[in-house]
Chains A and B, each alone.
Chain A
Amino acid sequence: MVENDASEDSKKGMKVGGALGEMFRTAFQRPITKKYPFGAAQVAERFRGKLDIDPVKCTGCGVCEAVCPASVIQMVHTGTRKVGTREIETKRPTFDLYTCISCGQCVDDCRFEALRLTHEFELATVDKKSLVMDKALKVVN
């Protein structure tokens, strides 16, 4: 036999339908539901959405590739460049946003401020490949 609750709460009177008053109050308030697909969605100032790159600022250093936890960023070879007497490889980043978790670590670590997170979040697609971002190609080459 379980003892009955003797705490402070059980001494207060119980009632059936204690929520009725609040229910009618709520019924005449504005519903909380946001009609999202039919209206704009509000996101916070700091919201981390789709990743975007400024190809002009990007130097192809590859730090973002090293820090990306989701292996979104792959550096691809674009050619060679002469620095003094040495020939060094030039690279550009490509982004597979399908696996991107929008953590923003690459943005934090980019010294050239080439990366940023936009407020865009509607990334649903039927084609995985359409999420591969290879912006740097057009400008660099």
Chain B
Amino acid sequence: MDALEVVEILVFPGLTFFVWLAFVFEWLDRKTTARMQGRIGPMLAGPRGILQPVADFFKLTSKEEIVPQFSDKLVFEWGPPFFFAAPAIGTIFIPVVGLNAIVSSPYDLLFILFVLAFSTLMAGMLGYASAGRFSTISIGRLVLQYASFEIPLLLAIVSPAVAAGNLSISGIVQAQSNFHWFVFVVPIGFAVFIVSSLAELEKPPFDIPDAKTEIAAGWMTEFSARPLAYVKLTESLSYVFLSALAASLFLGGTAGPVLTNVTILQDGIYLAYFLIKVFAIGFAIFAIKTALARVRINQAANLFWTVLTPLSLLQLGIVILLR
């Protein structure tokens, strides 16, 4: 591994880039949601409040950290960085400039599935470690919700892989050049993926594990200061990660028309393609989550098991037959 690769992983287009993208995403989320609800949204920090998520993050890190008396201190204090690591590692498999990701292997998607599961596992561990009543109820809901959305999410991720005949994300992106986007090949899979990612992200209508009017902040209730800052940042990062995954798997990610022969310019154009697609997916998720009310856990499980799982199985069957 040479120095350039380290810079790529840590700075651009790796971790730092995605963290800043996560901040921008959070700002966009707050701003668009506010406008749809007739409000202004953040307006003070930076131009039009764009630095508000950054300010929130640094403010949280400087606050007093309160550790509950009966909590599992080791997991409670050291868990958040691991929780953060899950989507952070996931992002390096996604091509951002050029058609190849920083790290690419033939088994990318398997690792992505592990990352998604690990993220939920860490959330569960953090909730249990904090030993609150709200957290305990929330973890019950989280695990049940994960059990219901994992199968549709997995099948929805697998369908573009089958269509491309490749398990590597870079491979899937390359298979979608010339506007051969998989959203046209596996439209049901795309819809199922978006709905399942709402559940993974704990956004309405599936914000059941952190339903604030029922169980306060759910498994995050006992967190404060630095751990909370990490947890919040991880939520935004997962947001970007899943949008980027959807953009790469279904909308062609960085793939698009080649405009110049100059490598560095063309890389910039690839980055622009990628960002446009990611933000498009992001806006779709913002709109869906703003327009819906929270369902109950049994209703969510019902929806995933009786509607989305058969749909994603059907999609997989169709895509296998088509190949």
Direct contact of A and B (CB under 8 A): yes
In the bound assembly, the distance between CA atoms of A16 and B39 in angstroms comes to 23
Contact with A along B19-39 (1 / 0, CB 8 A): 000000000000010111111
Q: Is B287 an interface residue (CB 8 A)?
A: yes
Q: List the 8 shortest-distance A-B pairs measured between CB atoms, nearest first.
A: A23-B36, A33-B40, A27-B35, A19-B291, A17-B291, A27-B36, A31-B40, A32-B38
- Contact at A29–B40, with CB atoms within 8 Å? no
List 6 A–B pairs whose Cβ atoms lie within 8 Å, in order of A's numbering.
A16-B292, A23-B36, A26-B37, A31-B35, A31-B38, A35-B40
In the bound assembly, the distance between CA atoms of A35 and B40 in angstroms comes to 9
In the bound assembly, the distance between CA atoms of A99 and B290 in angstroms comes to 42
Which label, helix, strand, loop or mixed, suits the secondary structure of the A interface? loop
Contact with A along B33-62 (1 / 0, CB 8 A): 011111110010000000000000000000
- List residues of B whose CB falls within 8 A of some A CB: 32, 34-40, 43, 287-288, 290-292
Contact with B along A2-34 (1 / 0, CB 8 A): 000000000000001111100110110101110
- List residues of A whose CB falls within 8 A of some B CB: 16-20, 23-24, 26-27, 29, 31-33, 35
Q: Which residue of chain A is the closest to B37 with respect to CB atoms?
A: A26
Name the contact of A31 in the complex, choosing from B32, B39, B287, B290 (C-beta under 8 A).
B39
Q: Which residues of B contact A19 (CB under 8 A)?
A: 290-291
**Chain A nearest CB, measured from B198 CB (Å):** 12
Q: Which residues of A contact B38 (CB under 8 A)?
A: 26, 29, 31-33
Which label, helix, strand, loop or mixed, suits the secondary structure of the B interface? helix
Other than A27-B36, A31-B40, give 13 A-B pairs with Cβ distance below 8 A: A19-B290, A20-B287, A20-B291, A23-B287, A23-B290, A23-B291, A24-B36, A26-B35, A26-B36, A26-B37, A26-B38, A27-B35, A35-B43
**Chain A nearest CB, measured from B150 CB (Å):** 22
In the bound assembly, the distance between CA atoms of A53 and B212 in angstroms comes to 48
In the bound assembly, the distance between CA atoms of A31 and B39 in angstroms comes to 5
**Chain B nearest CB, measured from A39 CB (Å):** 12
In the bound assembly, the distance between CA atoms of A32 and B39 in angstroms comes to 6
In the bound assembly, the distance between CA atoms of A89 and B203 in angstroms comes to 71
- Contact at B39–A17, with CB atoms within 8 Å? no
Which of B38, B43, B288, B290 has the most C-beta atoms of chain A within 10 angstroms of its own C-beta?
Answer: B38
- Contact at B40–A17, with CB atoms within 8 Å? no
Q: Which residue of chain A is the closest to B43 with respect to CB atoms?
A: A35
- Contact at B32–A27, with CB atoms within 8 Å? yes
In the bound assembly, the distance between CA atoms of A20 and B35 in angstroms comes to 13
Q: Which residues of A contact B36 (CB under 8 A)?
A: 23-24, 26-27
In the bound assembly, the distance between CA atoms of A34 and B1 in angstroms comes to 55
Q: Which residues of B contact A16 (CB under 8 A)?
A: 292
Q: Which residue of chain A is the closest to B205 with respect to CB atoms?
A: A16
In the bound assembly, the distance between CA atoms of A20 and B32 in angstroms comes to 13
